[in-house]
Structure 1
Amino acid sequence: MTEQQRRSGVVLVVATAAAVLVMTAAHFGGYRINLTPSEPLGLWRIVPLVRPAAVNDLIFICPPETAEMREAKARGYLRFGLCPAGVAPLIKTVIARAGQYVEIGASVRVDGREVSSSGLAPRDGKGRPLAPFPSGTVPPGHVFLHSSFPGSYDSRYFGPLPVSGILGRAQEVLTYAR
């Protein structure tokens, strides 16, 4: 091995270690990179939520390991991440809380009011059928989530998620439009 190859190897090791250190610090500092079109792409921060989640809160949430989420992971809707189910947290807006009635038809209605940009897709981008979640009252300890992005995989399809999975509010740091 030449001196130049050895130096190149040392530089590569140091650069890799620095990148891992920065990513680890960012992760534990509450920063996440959003690579999905559900919200603007880029750098986001998880801000602690010191009150119960409210309607219109944009949140980070870890989905539970349910049959719907395992299927979503198998279909490629969910990215790998550090949530207990092995997926990345979702960034979604709370549109209903426990006790509110969600009606799912051609679009979504919460307590009789239509949610904008909530039309349902019969099939995903690869032509596979999508089944809507049945209408009903959001159970205690759960929230119903939505994204206005037309191809978003949200509670329209997987139903309410437990509030115990909420990591915090989603705050844009450095993003660009979807």
Structure 2
Amino acid sequence: MSIRHFPLLILAVGAGLVAAVTGAGWCAGLRINMTPSYPCGLWRIETLDRTAAVGDLVFICPPGTAEFERALERGYLRRGLCAGGLSPLIKTVAAIGGQQVDVADQVSIDGRPLPDSGVRHTDAAGRPLAPFAGGVIPAGELYLHSDFAGSYDSRYFGPIPSSGVLGLARPVLTFGP
């Protein structure tokens, strides 16, 4: 090998190492969050060997519906490996099947106000946001929430199937609020 091919060899080995580390992290359940709904950084998907419960912080794949395709087009979501090519969400389970959710200027669950749940009628770009109409959460579905005021969560898309839960979301190395 000539000396002029040496930089190409270093580049190829470096790219291979990055790919190997990325693949190993992916297989180990590591994910990078770059959205403001929860602290940015490295997160781990922890196995959930029970039904998701109120208060659980979960990774969940949104269903591949027209609503989520529109959210992707508007930039609320990123591309990923979930159905419809969407990235998983990190959200807190705020209500489960059988609970009553009322949505007005703020969300109430079973008659109790949900903290940090103000409802916006436009997004940051001034486009209209239609809030979820509210109602009893169907069995097998979850109402998801984030304390971040600008979060795209069930305030707007409503409950989604619990079958999309990948596991609990655990921070590994995060920064920011």
TM above 0.5: yes
Q: SS at the partner of 1:85?
A: helix
Partner secondary structure for residue 85 of structure 2? coil
Secondary structure of the corresponding residue to residue 33 of structure 1: strand
Distance in 2 separating the partners of 1:19 and 1:129: 41
Moved over 4 A (4+): none
| 1:34-66 CA-partner distances (Å, limit 9, x unpaired) | 000000000000000011101010000000011
Q: Tell whether 2:58 aligns with 1:59.
A: yes
Root-mean-square deviation (Å): 1.1
Q: Equivalent residue of 2:22, what SS?
A: helix
Aligned amino acid, residue 141 of structure 2 = H
2:171 alignment partner, SS class? strand
**Per-residue CA shift, 1:52-100, capped at 9, x if unaligned?**
1010100000000111101101111101111122111100000000000
Once the two structures are TM-superposed, the CA of residue 4 in structure 1 deviates from its matched residue by 3.9
Number of corresponding residues: 177
Partner of 1:14: 13
What is the SS of the residue equivalent to 1:121? coil
1:23-102 map, 5 Å: 23-102=22-101
Post-superposition offset of 1:174: 0.5
Aligned to 2:120: 121
Structure 2: 5+ residue stretches without partners: none
CA distance in 1, matches of 2:4, 2:62: 46
Name the CA distance, whole Å, in 2 between partners of 1:5 and 1:37: 45
Contact 2:93 2:145 in 1 (8 A): yes
The separation in 2 between residues aligned to 1:175 and 1:4, in whole angstroms, is 41
Identity %: 52
Contact 2:79 2:87 in 1 (8 A): yes
Q: Work out the CA distance in 1 between the residues paired with 2:146 and 2:67.
A: 18
- Aligned mates of 1:115, 1:125 — CA distance in 2: 22
- Listed as ranges, the gaps of 5+ residues in structure 1 are none
How far apart, CA to CA, are the structure 2 residues paired with 1:54 and 1:62?
A: 16
Matched residue, 1:104: 103
TM-score, normalized by length of structure 2?
Answer: 0.97
SS class of match (2:83): coil
Structure 1: distance between partners of 2:59 and 2:41: 14
AA partner of residue 123 (structure 1): T
